[in-house]
Every structure is written in structure tokens, then in C-alpha cells.
Amino acid sequence: MAESILQLEAVVAGYGPTTVLNGLSFEMAAQERLAMVGRNGVGKTTALRAIMGLVPLRSGRVRFNGQDVSALAPHQRAALGLGYVPQTRDIFPSLTVEENLLAGLKRRSRSALDEAYALFPRLAERRRNGGAQLSGGEQQMLSVARALLGQPSLLLLDEPLEGLAPLIRLELLNAFRNLSQQTGIAVVIVEQQVDEALGYAERALVLDHGIVVHSGGAAALLDDPDTLERWVGMAVH
Ligand SMILES: Nc1ncnc2c1ncn2[C@@H]1O[C@H](COP(=O)(O)OP(=O)(O)O)[C@@H](O)[C@H]1O
Ligand SMILES: [Mg+2]
């Protein structure tokens, strides 16, 4: 594998008495686009949260750019270049689009806003609109744009297409493609929209009971209805 950006080594994590990740291991190359799929409740969100430091590890290790980050707090991991867009859109509804973006700027200059607006022209049109006035798709764009202002080298996207109309999903996926091409940022995308996620990603992991049960090329998985039906429970259209 090319230079590795992320390694999970036998990660065990969960909530209270429940163990969700049962020794999750996988590795990702720099600039890679990885889709993570699997049935509801198999631990996809928990895996992203464990990478980000939002759920403590009971055992195992998370390495980012070779560094063991297992004991670091989420903001420390963010400072190293991890970006996270949670499943619930993480915006301030009472602030405008621009104010939401400014809140994500930290020490960067305002010109970084132009990059966000170039990626999502819709946000530029709506820069004075309140967060609560945005459509679901626009809120999702804002949530992604804000994470990008932290200049991550690895972006974790938790069901970014959820609840969005097909045309808006297409618009978001196009933005993700442009982002990958222009910046070489590595992306983990968790999706129930399996066909769309596999169309975007290069490689795919299938999770079940908190471990990887299938790993391979995204296009190959798209062409493998048996594996999809068995582990994802979903016919691809
Ligand atoms: N905060 C929580 N407290 C207790 N159990 C949780 C919590 N979050 C998730 N779970 C449980 O952990 C399991 C895995 O959840 P999750 O990682 O969200 O799965 P996925 O994202 O693949 O649907 C599920 O059984 C879920 O009910
Ligand atoms: Mg989830």
C-alpha cells in the first residue's frame, strides 16, 4: 500500500456494557477514498467516532500518519488533520451561512471562505441566510464546508447523503469528487446509499458486528450482488 494515513489495530470499543467494535482492523492509504458499508447497527458510526476520539478505546490502537493517537482528545486529532462530519448535521441554525463558516475558520484567513464557496456555490448564494432556512442538502454542504476549513488530510463523512433528494445527492457527490481531485484529501464515506458511495470510492469495507467482513475494490463490490445481499441486505439498483 502507498503511504498509510490511517491504521486501526484490533480496536475494541462500545457503550456501557455493550461492545460495538470487536477488534476492528483496517488500513488506509493517503489520498484514498474508502466507502464503509454494512447493515444498521453494525458499528459504522462508532468506528468513525473511535477514529476521532469521541468514543474511548477499550483496547487496540488508532494510528494517524504513523502516530499513535489513541490517547488524544478529539480537538488534538482535529489539529493533526482529522475532519469529521457527523450524521446529525453539525451547524448552528441561528447563525448565517457565513457566520457558521467563520466559526470553523480558527486561525485561517477569510480567503479560506472563498475555497468553501468555490466548492459549494450554493452556499455563496446563501451566505446571508440563516442556518435554519437552509434545505437539508444545503445544511449538509455547510457541515462539510465547515469541517474542510480545518484543512483536514482525512475527512470522515457519516451518511452525508441521508434524507436528500437524488439531484442534491448528485451535487454533493460531485463536490466530493472535485474535492478529492483538487486536494487529494483522503475520505471515509459511510453510506446507506451504497451504490452512490461505491461509485465515488476506490475501495470498500463491509462491516458486520464491529469487524471487517469484506474488503476490496469498490467497483468490484458494486458488481457482487451476493456479497451485498449477504452483508448489506440491500439490492443495488
Ligand atoms: N450512545 C450510545 N449508547 C448506547 N448504545 C449505542 C450508542 N450509540 C450507538 N449505540 C449502539 O451501538 C450499536 C452500533 O451503533 P452505530 O455505530 O451507530 O451503528 P451504525 O452506524 O453502523 O448504524 C447499535 O446497536 C447502537 O444501538
Ligand atoms: Mg450510523
Closest ligand 1 atom to 43 CA: 17
For atom 20 of ligand 1, the residue with the nearest CA is 41
Determine the pLDDT at residue 110.
82
**Nearby residues of 164 by Cβ (< 8 Å), 6 or more positions away:** 136, 137, 140, 172
For atom 18 of ligand 1, the residue with the nearest CA is 45
Mean pLDDT of the 9-36 span = 97
Residues lining ligand 1, Cβ inside 6 A: 15, 18, 20, 38, 40-46
Dist. CA 38–CA 31, nearest whole Å:
23
Distance 159 CA to ligand 1 centre (A): 14
Ligand nearest 47 Cα, by number? Answer: 1
For atom 6 of ligand 1, the residue with the nearest CA is 15
Does 51 score more than 90 pLDDT? yes
Determine the pLDDT at residue 26.
98
Query: Which band of pLDDT confidence, cut at 50, 70 and 90, is reported for residue 2?
Result: low
List, as one string, the DSSP characters of 121-162.
Answer: HHHHHTTTSBGGGS-HHHHHHHHHHHHHTT--SEEEEESTTT
Does 236 score more than 70 pLDDT? no
Determine the pLDDT at residue 20.
98
Dist. CA 80–CA 64, nearest whole Å:
8
pLDDT, tens only, 117-156: 999 999 999 999 999 999 999 999 999 999 999 999 999 9
Closest ligand 1 atom to 49 CA: 17
Query: Which band of pLDDT confidence, cut at 50, 70 and 90, is reported for residue 237?
Result: low
Closest ligand 1 atom to 159 CA: 21
Does 1 score more than 70 pLDDT? no
Hey, what's the cell of 79? 489539529
Ligand nearest 54 Cα, by number? Answer: 1
Closest ligand 1 atom to 207 CA: 22
pLDDT, tens only, 60-83: 999 999 999 999 999 999 999 999
Dist. CA 109–CA 116, nearest whole Å:
12
Domains of the chain: 4-231 (3.40.50.300)
**Nearby residues of 178 by Cβ (< 8 Å), 6 or more positions away:** 119
pLDDT, tens only, 185-234: 999 999 999 999 999 999 999 999 999 999 999 999 999 999 999 999 86
> Please, what is the end-to-end C-alpha distance for the chain in angstroms?
31
Ligand nearest 43 Cα, by number? Answer: 1
Distance 20 CA to ligand 1 centre (A): 7
